[in-house]
Structure 1
Amino acid sequence: ANTDLVNNQISSFYTGAMAHAAEIRLHDLPFKADLVVISPNDPKAMYQYSLECQELGLPYLFDPSQQVVRNPGEQLRVGVEGAQSLFVNEYEYELLQKHTCLSEEQILNHVKYMVVTCGEKGARIYADGKQYLVPVIPPTCIADPTGVGDAFRGGFLRGYDLGFDWPVCGRMGALAATYVLEQHGTQNHHYTPAEFVARYRQHFDDQGVLDALLANS
């Protein structure tokens, strides 16, 4: 992505091998996945994976991201209606509702939970009939926002996998995102579990639940 001085981005991308993504079939996996993440990919492949997950009974997280503008509305709708969860940013969420003709209420009736990231305003988690507001973790500097959304999703899912409550999952996502924001490039950041937990506790009281991260490190 090309990023300007106020962190607006224009994406440019060469598909390369991704143009053949639809040749990969979930039916061919030698194991049953616990969770499938359908993130930006060849539109045909994203639609195919949604259908395969539904046929195989595999729960999946739907994160169409910038491909909201390339996927046909009816295919996006199939992806949303069969998903276990949905991840989008504010702008993508508006486009998703417009292209699928689904209201927020209709979307929430289909997914177990939804996360909408809102840049410097944090994020919103919709789950169990409630809305949870997630604040940002102040960065030491702002270097490059590329990859921040992916990092948020990764941190969130780690907490979700460990059975943490929604606010803790969201705050883990926010902290993971901040680490990326502070570095140029999407994978140039690093931290140990102990460093992650210590920084989290500078801002939030986890009541000891993050000790599970230290035990598994």
Structure 2
Amino acid sequence: MRVFVTGSIAYDYIMVFPGKFQDHILADKVHVLSVSFLVDSLTRRRGGTGANIAYNLALLGEKPILVGTVGEDFEDYRGRLKEKGVDDGGVRVIKDEHTASCFVNTDLADNQIIAFYPGAMSKASTISPKDLGATKDDLVVIAPNDPAAMGRYAAECTVAGVPYLYDPSMQLPRMDKSELQEGCKGAKILAGNDYEFGMMAEKLGISEEELRKSVPITVMTLGEKGALITVEGKEYQIPSAKPNKVADPTGAGDAFRGGFVAGMARKLPWEVVGRMASLTAVYAIEHPGPQEHAYSLDDFIARYRTNFGSSDQLEALKTGASA
């Protein structure tokens, strides 16, 4: 089974303001707001939902095919992904454009002011897994991206019978009921956190329980409480893994999805798939940035056993075979 990963590919520009935004915003002047914050640091990190998921899949021995559009400033990023084992055959460079960029300014109270420039991502609908030969034997991951691209991928997969994981998450606020219904209609897997499942259920006019049973497989992350996987109505409670430290939660959800898909691709038991996903998320939490962590498969298996006990099926990760 090949895994095609679609979603945003972006640079994250992280800034830290050594104070609190609220101390510099006048409540009676917000209608003419004009403020400037001198920051202490600026860090550029590799990110984007699609790229993050592909990166984590590669760490677990998969060869994911990343699908998306980038700018002419992508080459260094491309080299890093290829080095880890990501297939960049589905990444298209848009001439005279920049790779999507997220500018995050954080104050000492962890408040954030964010600006997102889509750049080349706005052309994501010009390439799709269908163009690259995705079949019924493959899996397509549809992660947050340009809305037109997400709609195209879901429609094409539904018509062709290609299984796909649907993860609207960050695009949910702008989706209406019909768009969400179309995205879920042909999905094999629906993913999101507990807040997002609540939002989806409200938009669709059904209960969360009905939503979890409306798609063959749903996976709902619950933060420190772990996750809930529902397969054809049967529920699997997944415990969380223990982080050695908490540096930055950014990218943890994408890492979870990478671990989930990697375990599912090996046809591991659902309890093992969920635990793999929880552990994969922890690695991201322990590092500042969604792609700053790395590990060997031996290290991953040893840490899995420390958290969850022995699992002979995990040897499938090293052999590349299904359990």
TM (norm. structure 2) is: 0.62
Task: Name the one with the larger strand percent.
Answer: 2
User: What is the aligned partner in structure 2 of residue 199 from structure 1?
Assistant: 303
Amino acid at match of 1:182: E
Q: Report 1:9-158 matches (<5 A).
A: 12-32=115-135, 34-158=138-262
Q: Distance in 1 between matches of 2:188 and 2:316?
A: 25
Q: Distance in 2 between matches of 1:25 and 1:160?
A: 22
Alpha-carbon contact 1:82-1:110 (below 8 Å) kept: no
Kindly state the Cα deviation for residue 196 of structure 1 after the two structures are TM-superposed. 0.2
Gaps of 5+ in 1: none
Return 4-13 or 48-57, whichever deviates more.
Answer: 4-13
Gaps of 5+ in 2: 1-103
Kindly state the Cα deviation for residue 12 of structure 1 after the two structures are TM-superposed. 3.9
Q: Distance in 2 between matches of 1:4 and 1:136?
A: 29
Q: Distance in 1 between matches of 2:279 and 2:105?
A: 24
Between the two proteins, the alignment pairs up a number of residues equal to 217
Q: Distance in 1 between matches of 2:239 and 2:109?
A: 20
Kindly state the Cα deviation for residue 24 of structure 1 after the two structures are TM-superposed. 1.8
Q: Distance in 1 between matches of 2:260 and 2:200?
A: 22
| CA deviations over 1:89-141 (Å, ceiling 9, x no partner) | 01111111111223335434432210000111111111132211111111111
Q: Distance in 1 between matches of 2:238 and 2:202?
A: 25
From the CA coordinates, give the structure whose radius of gyration is larger: 2
Alpha-carbon contact 1:135-1:171 (below 8 Å) kept: yes
Kindly state the Cα deviation for residue 207 of structure 1 after the two structures are TM-superposed. 3.4
Q: Distance in 2 between matches of 1:37 and 1:49?
A: 9
TM (norm. structure 1) is: 0.91
Q: Distance in 1 between matches of 2:109 and 2:190?
A: 27
CA separation of 1:69/1:183 partners in 2, compared to 1, >3 Å: closer, same or farther? same
User: What is the aligned partner in structure 2 of residue 189 from structure 1?
Assistant: 293
Alpha-carbon contact 2:213-2:233 (below 8 Å) kept: no
Q: Distance in 1 between matches of 2:203 and 2:111?
A: 23
Amino acid at match of 1:193: L
Alpha-carbon contact 1:83-1:110 (below 8 Å) kept: no
- Greater relative contact order structure (CA < 8 Å, 6+ sep): 2
Kindly state the Cα deviation for residue 72 of structure 1 after the two structures are TM-superposed. 2.2
Alpha-carbon contact 1:34-1:58 (below 8 Å) kept: yes
Alpha-carbon contact 2:158-2:185 (below 8 Å) kept: no
| CA deviations over 1:53-98 (Å, ceiling 9, x no partner) | 1111111100011111122221111111210010000111111111
Task: Name the one with the larger helix percent.
Answer: 1
Amino acid at match of 2:164: Y
User: What is the aligned partner in structure 1 of residue 73 from structure 2?
Assistant: none
